[in-house]
A and B are shown apart, each in its own frame.
Chain A
Amino acid sequence: NFMLTQPHSVSESPGKTVTISCTRSSGTIATNYVQWYQQRPGSAPTIVIYEDNQRPSGVPDRFSGSIDSSSNSASLTISGLKTEDEADYYCQSYDNNNRVFGGGTKLTVL
Chain B
Amino acid sequence: QVQLVESGGGLVKPGGSLRLSCAASGFTFSDYYMSWIRQAPGKGLEWLSHISSSSSYTNYADSVKGRFTISRDNAKNSLFLQMNSLRAEDTAVYYCARDSTVGATFDYWGQGTLVTVSS
A contact set with B: CB distance below 8 Å: 1, 32-33, 35, 37, 39, 44-47, 50-51, 56, 90, 92-94, 97-104
Nearest CB of A to B72, in Å = 17
Which A residue sits closest to B6, measured CB to CB? A44
Q: When the two chains form the complex, which single residue of B59, B103, B110, B111 contacts A98, counting CB atoms closer than 8 Å?
A: B59
Which one of B16-24, B41-49, B83-91 is at the A interface?
B41-49
Q: Is A101 a contact partner of B47 (Cβ separation < 8 A)? A: yes
Please list the 3 inter-chain residue pairs (A to B) with the smallest Cβ-Cβ separation, ordered nearest first.
Answer: A94-B104, A33-B103, A99-B47
Q: Does B61 touch A at the CB level, under 8 Å?
A: yes
Q: Is B44 a contact partner of A99 (Cβ separation < 8 A)? A: no
Q: Is A56 a contact partner of B47 (Cβ separation < 8 A)? A: no
**Residue of A32, A46, A98 with most partner-chain B CB within 10 A:** A98
In the complex, which residues of chain B have a beta carbon less than 8 angstroms from the beta carbon of A100? 47
The A interface, classified by DSSP as helix, strand, loop or mixed, is strand
Interface flags for B100-112 (1: CB within 8 Å of A; 0: not) read 1011111101111
Q: Is B47 a contact partner of A90 (Cβ separation < 8 A)? A: no
Which B residue sits closest to A45, measured CB to CB? B109
In the complex, which residues of chain A have a beta carbon less than 8 angstroms from the beta carbon of B110? 44
In the complex, which residues of chain B have a beta carbon less than 8 angstroms from the beta carbon of A101? 37, 44-47
Interface flags for B47-78 (1: CB within 8 Å of A; 0: not) read 10010000000010110000000000000000
Q: Is B109 a contact partner of A51 (Cβ separation < 8 A)? A: no
Give CA–CA (A101, B46) in the complex, Å: 6
In the complex, which residues of chain B have a beta carbon less than 8 angstroms from the beta carbon of A94? 104
Nearest CB of B to A42, in Å = 10
Q: Does B29 touch A at the CB level, under 8 Å?
A: no
Considering the complex, which residues of chain B in the window 85-99 have a beta carbon less than 8 Å from any beta carbon of chain A? 95, 99
Q: Is B59 a contact partner of A46 (Cβ separation < 8 A)? A: no
